[in-house]
């Protein structure tokens, strides 16, 4: 069921009048997005390696033919099929008796990696290519709670390649790092059996350390996967790693204008014919130790768990890899999607791969339009930790970030924005899709994908269309049956929309609040309140907002403050893991970078935010803040600063 939202703000009424006077409303169809043909979302599972090889080679032949045709007419070919005319706009845990922070995760039960982690007794930091473990608390006990005796380094371990982020799970640390295929060949004894790759091809490596003895981290496993790092998640003992690799095979370098195009195409076809499947699909590598090297494997992506889609674009293979952290001998399980994927969302039940395609979108009425459509492929997590394809949906528009996607109570909720070239009409929308798929019989006339398997389609059942247009989407947060959306336009400021999702088939705007500037991250707290972090556009400083959303029909701004001075910024504006809120302490921590580099601490009262302290570390950038017991541990580019939560004074510093 479809609902169209219109703001009653005077500024938008004026804009609508202006568009109508120019005759643009009819051409854009702001009240009707149309229905995307479900066949665009068809996904096929390959039945054999022969089918995979035939498919990737046929796609390569087609690319060569398109290059030839366009070169002959003086055009250019984008192998990814994008349109160049349209592009998107720009907790806590316990260890023993000592409470401590965990990563600021999007979903409960789904752990995200970060550059800093803590448990009840130690802090773990990735710093200048090393894993540094700090003994955060001393040995003296008082009433069962350990007291600070001055932090000291317990271990300092060099990490291969370029460390990105890490997980901490009990006595296990997993460091995600970027290496190259050359390093893989050096690390593996049977290098001659490895696939042929360029030395500088990207590889993502997950290094597993046993840190039972914090002073002596022991490397117990390495899992390496070909491609560029997209994301990682941990659900219980299973670690999920997502990487995007270019499909192998011959590189289709367009011929020079002086070449014989037909001869070039024939040469490329011969090279493609001669290539084997090993040169096309990505590999994963695993080594594990038990005091000595016990296992070493290199395996190509499984053909039995390989998929592609009619809407797939590009020459990429997106791999979802997982392994059991509780069993170092567990196999690396793989699911491969031949096509592109740029954004990952994970719940405790599934991983969703999202990709926006800017090529023609076909509609049921036979027409087509060059607008954005985002495809969402859902892969469910099995009991053994592996992933398998579930279903696919398509929605209009592009997705801002992972917070634009949410699963709840059997439904998928998506917030998107569309850009229409040249006319300034940019509708912002919310869609709901039931997780139980609709089964559609395959199209026997499909020339690209032919399969007897029925299509599993996530059909949109609820649409909130045109929440706002002429504005940009800046923040989204779904919490249970409620959605929050922040938009912004230079003239009208920052509207906060509250959306009622209690009936998923009929999402409804319940309230709207308009304030200057905009928020890019929204963090729900107790008392029906919402913290917003973003930008004050009056002086380009960091803006903090405290909203009351207890009454969805009447959201209000309790307080707004600008911090950091003109031209200041905060990593938390674009990185939610840099934000920290301590519920029991009603204390918020936020890194600020401007004329000073500080970790600002704020008291959050019922109706106000007030600055309590600004911690510095000799001019170093401050990145993260986690608490252990009665102290806040702040990671800077120079080391660690320990701040007492009782008086917000610095208790200790430690340089790395």
DSSP readout, 58-85? HHHHHHHHHHHHHHHTT----TT---TT
Per-domain boundaries in the chain: 2-33, 471-615
Query: Please, are residues 300 and 281 in contact by the beta-carbon 8 Å criterion?
Result: yes
* Confidence band, pLDDT 50/70/90 cuts, at residue 28: very low
Q: Is the pLDDT of residue 403 over 80?
A: yes
- 122-137 average pLDDT score: 92
Give the distance, in angstroms, between the CA of residue 362 and the centroid of all CA atoms in the same chain: 27
Query: How far apart are alpha carbons 275 and 267 in whole angstroms?
Result: 13
Query: How far apart are alpha carbons 522 and 576 in whole angstroms?
Result: 9
Is the CA virtual torsion 596, 599, 603, 604 positive or negative?
A: positive
* Confidence band, pLDDT 50/70/90 cuts, at residue 491: low
Query: Please, are residues 487 and 474 in contact by the beta-carbon 8 Å criterion?
Result: yes
- Distances from the Cα of 592 to the Cαs of 114, 597, 653, in angstroms? 18, 6, 19
Convert the pLDDT of each residue in 201-216 to its tens digit. Answer: 999 999 999 999 999 9
Fold of 471-615: Methylamine Dehydrogenase; Chain H (2.130.10)
Query: How far apart are alpha carbons 351 and 354 in whole angstroms?
Result: 10
Query: How far apart are alpha carbons 431 and 478 in whole angstroms?
Result: 12
Give the distance, in angstroms, between the CA of residue 463 and the centroid of all CA atoms in the same chain: 24
* Confidence band, pLDDT 50/70/90 cuts, at residue 60: confident
Q: Is the pLDDT of residue 143 over 80?
A: no
Convert the pLDDT of each residue in 503-519 to its tens digit. Answer: 999 999 999 998 888 99
Q: Could you tell me which of 513, 613, 497, 612 has the C-alpha nearest to residue 558?
A: 513
Q: Could you tell me which of 516, 514, 574 has the C-alpha nearest to residue 543?
A: 516
Q: Is the pLDDT of residue 587 over 90?
A: yes
Query: How far apart are alpha carbons 205 and 284 in whole angstroms?
Result: 10
- 608-617 average pLDDT score: 96
Q: Is the pLDDT of residue 164 over 90?
A: yes
- 147-161 average pLDDT score: 82
**pLDDT score recorded for residue 201:** 92
Q: Is the pLDDT of residue 443 over 70?
A: no
């Amino acid at each position: 069921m479809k609902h169209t939202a219109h703001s009653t703000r005077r500024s938008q009424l004026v804009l609508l009048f202006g568009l109508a006077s120019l005759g643009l409303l009819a051409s854009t169809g702001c009240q009707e997005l149309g229905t995307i043909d479900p066949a665009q979302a068809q996904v096929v599972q390959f039945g054999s390696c022969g089918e995979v090889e035939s498919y990737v080679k046929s796609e390569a032949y087609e690319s060569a033919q398109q290059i030839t045709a366009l070169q002959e007419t003086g055009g250019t070919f984008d192998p990814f099929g994008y349109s160049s005319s349209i592009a998107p706009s720009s907790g806590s845990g316990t260890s023993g008796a000592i409470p401590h922070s965990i990563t600021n995760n999007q979903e409960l039960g789904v752990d995200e990696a970060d550059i800093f982690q803590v448990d009840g007794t130690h802090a773990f930091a990735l710093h200048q290519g090393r894993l540094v473990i700090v003994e955060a608390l001393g040995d003296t006990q008082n009433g069962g709670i350990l007291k600070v005796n001055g932090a000291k380094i317990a271990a300092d371990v060099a990490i291969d390649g370029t460390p990105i982020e890490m997980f901490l799970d009990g006595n296990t640390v997993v460091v995600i790092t970027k290496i190259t295929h050359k390093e893989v060949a050096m690390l593996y004894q049977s290098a001659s059996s490895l696939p042929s790759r360029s030395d500088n091809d990207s590889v993502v490596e997950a290094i597993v350390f046993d840190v039972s003895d914090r002073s002596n981290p022991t490397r117990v496993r390495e899992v390496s996967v070909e491609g560029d790092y997209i994301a990682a998640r941990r659900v219980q003992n299973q670690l999920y790693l997502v990487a995007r690799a270019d499909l192998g095979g011959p590189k289709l370098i367009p011929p020079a204008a002086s070449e014989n195009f037909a001869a070039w195409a024939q040469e490329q076809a011969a090279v493609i014919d001669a290539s084997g499947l090993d040169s096309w699909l990505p590999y994963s590598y695993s080594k594990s130790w038990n005091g000595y090297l016990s296992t070493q494997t290199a395996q190509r992506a499984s053909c039995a768990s390989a998929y592609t889609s009619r809407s797939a674009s590009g020459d990429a293979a997106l791999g979802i890899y997982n392994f059991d952290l509780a069993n170092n001998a567990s196999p690396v399980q793989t699911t491969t999607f031949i096509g592109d994927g740029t954004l990952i969302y994970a719940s405790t039940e599934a991983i969703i791969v999202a990709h926006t395609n800017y090529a023609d979108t076909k509609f049921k009425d036979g027409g087509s339009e060059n607008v954005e459509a985002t495809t969402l492929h859902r892969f469910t997590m099995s009991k053994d930790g592996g992933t398998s394809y579930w279903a696919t949906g398509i929605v209009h528009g592009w997705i801002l970030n992972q917070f634009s996607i949410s699963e709840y109570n059997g439904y998928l909720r998506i917030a998107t924005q569309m850009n229409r070239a040249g006319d300034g009409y940019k509708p912002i929308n919310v869609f709901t899709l039931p997780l139980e798929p609709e089964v559609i019989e395959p199209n026997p006339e499909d020339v690209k994908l032919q399969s007897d398997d029925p299509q599993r389609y996530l059909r949109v059942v609820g649409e909130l269309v045109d929440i706002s247009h002429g504005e940009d989407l800046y923040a989204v947060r779904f919490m249970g049956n409620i959605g929050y959306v922040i938009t912004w336009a230079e003239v009208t400021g920052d509207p906060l929309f509250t959306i009622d999702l209690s009936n998923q088939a009929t999402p409804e705007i319940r309230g709207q609040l308009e304030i200057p500037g905009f928020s890019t991250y929204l963090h729900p707290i107790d008392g029906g309140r919402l913290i917003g972090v973003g930008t004050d556009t009056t002086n380009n400083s960091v803006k903090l907002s405290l909203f009351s959303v207890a009454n969805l029909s009447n959201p209000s701004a309790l307080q707004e403050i600008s911090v950091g001075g003109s031209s200041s910024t905060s990593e938390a504006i674009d990185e939610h893991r840099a934000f920290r809120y301590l519920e029991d302490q009603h204390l918020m921590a936020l890194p600020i970078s401007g004329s000073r580099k500080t970790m600002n601490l704020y008291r959050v009262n019922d109706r106000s935010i007030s600055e309590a302290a600004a911690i510095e570390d000799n001019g170093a950038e401050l990145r993260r803040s986690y608490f252990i017991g009665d102290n806040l541990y702040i990671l800077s580019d120079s080391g660690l600063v320990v701040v007492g939560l009782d008086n917000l004074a610095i208790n200790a510093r430690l340089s790395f």
